Chain A
């Protein structure tokens, strides 16, 4: 009798030990393809008052891209914009015109793609640049 009780409890524990992967965007439970990791151009072009980011649009399921910025490479990256490409674009581009950017300060950028369901893929490696302030003319 005790053996049955112990067996029952162990079975209950094993069955109960799994959490459902109930997120509709979870690729492990749904037939959703993850957008490829973006390969960003390691040398952003910096003009006065603007940072130009470019990355290659690989054969990916990404329908859009998120652009992130941080003040340290391992700090919190804040989403600063979205880029929705036209079909003919082979390169993804983003220009950071933010007026709050400070002169002679290092900024770090990452880019990631998202698919038609809204699932965001892995973010790119960071690229960084020194911002040059636009001076009043």
Chain B
């Protein structure tokens, strides 16, 4: 027991010594050197700080107005094209929605026709009518399935394109915010914000 306490004490002393050695190596002046960040004077520091705050504002504005992919995907899953409308892609949204409605409408029309004949087939007791109604139901049923699959493809495409359109919208939004900011005489670049007088 005594051995353990001696060993642990030695370990703690060793660790403390190490910290002092590392602290000696750490160059505080170099770390806090303002010229490293391009600040030659306190005014430069203030300007950089102001730039940082402006940049933060731009990001806030972007965050508040951007569209989320998840939200738009849910919208497009419920009504194909809704996600496009949210991203202000009205033409594409209208085309997708119309296409979906037309395709599904035709599918429902053929399905209804097929079911009319199929109901007659189920009630028929004459061999000619049994065969006739079954054959009459088969073709529109095939068409209805084809249109439903087409509708599903349009729906899937709508979901897929919603992701692209949302990305594009967010990109354009950022560019718009950035452009407006530039118009006001401020320039945001990779190295920071430049004010032009």
Binding site for B on A (CB under 8 A): 5, 9, 12-13, 16-17, 19, 21-23, 25-27, 34, 112, 114, 118-123
| Top 8 A-B pairs, shortest CB-CB distance | A120-B126, A16-B145, A13-B149, A23-B122, A118-B125, A17-B145, A17-B142, A34-B127
From B134, B146, B149, B153, contact of A19 by CB (8 A): B134
Residue-wise interface mask of B (128-158) relative to A, using a CB-CB cutoff of 8 A (1 in contact, 0 not)? 1010001001100110011011001100100
Alpha-carbon distance A21/B149, docked complex (angstroms): 23
The contact sample of 24 A-B pairs, CB cut-off 8 A, is A5-B156, A12-B149, A13-B145, A13-B146, A17-B141, A19-B114, A19-B118, A19-B134, A19-B137, A22-B122, A23-B123, A23-B124, A23-B134, A25-B124, A25-B125, A27-B127, A34-B127, A114-B125, A118-B125, A119-B125, A119-B126, A120-B125, A121-B127, A122-B127
| Distance between B129 CB and nearest chain A CB, rounded to angstroms | 9
Collect the chain A residues with CB atoms within 8 Å of residue B122's CB.
22-23
Collect the chain A residues with CB atoms within 8 Å of residue B138's CB.
19
The number of residues on chain B lying at the interface, defined by a beta carbon within 8 Å of a beta carbon of chain A, is 23
Collect the chain B residues with CB atoms within 8 Å of residue A112's CB.
126
Q: Which of B141-197 contact A (CB under 8 A)?
A: 141-142, 145-146, 148-149, 152-153, 156
- Establish whether residues A23 and B130, one from each chain, have CB atoms under 8 Å apart when the complex forms: yes
- Establish whether residues A119 and B127, one from each chain, have CB atoms under 8 Å apart when the complex forms: yes
Which of A5, A23, A25, A114 has the most chain B CB atoms closer than 10 A to its own CB?
A23
The answer to the question of B121 belonging to the interface, with a C-beta cut-off of 8 Å to chain A, is yes
Binding site for A on B (CB under 8 A): 114, 118, 121-128, 130, 134, 137-138, 141-142, 145-146, 148-149, 152-153, 156
Alpha-carbon distance A119/B130, docked complex (angstroms): 10
Q: Which residue of B lies closest to A114 (CB)?
A: B125
| Distance between B130 CB and nearest chain A CB, rounded to angstroms | 5
Q: Which residue of B lies closest to A32 (CB)?
A: B127
| Distance between A125 CB and nearest chain B CB, rounded to angstroms | 14
- Establish whether residues A21 and B128, one from each chain, have CB atoms under 8 Å apart when the complex forms: no
Alpha-carbon distance A9/B157, docked complex (angstroms): 14
Collect the chain A residues with CB atoms within 8 Å of residue B128's CB.
122-123
| Distance between B138 CB and nearest chain A CB, rounded to angstroms | 6
Known: A5-B156, A9-B152, A12-B149. A26 touches B142 (CB 8 A): no
Q: Which residue of A lies closest to B128 (CB)?
A: A122
Collect the chain B residues with CB atoms within 8 Å of residue A19's CB.
114, 118, 134, 137-138, 141
Q: Which residue of B lies closest to A12 (CB)?
A: B149
| Distance between A55 CB and nearest chain B CB, rounded to angstroms | 18
Collect the chain A residues with CB atoms within 8 Å of residue B148's CB.
16
Alpha-carbon distance A26/B137, docked complex (angstroms): 15
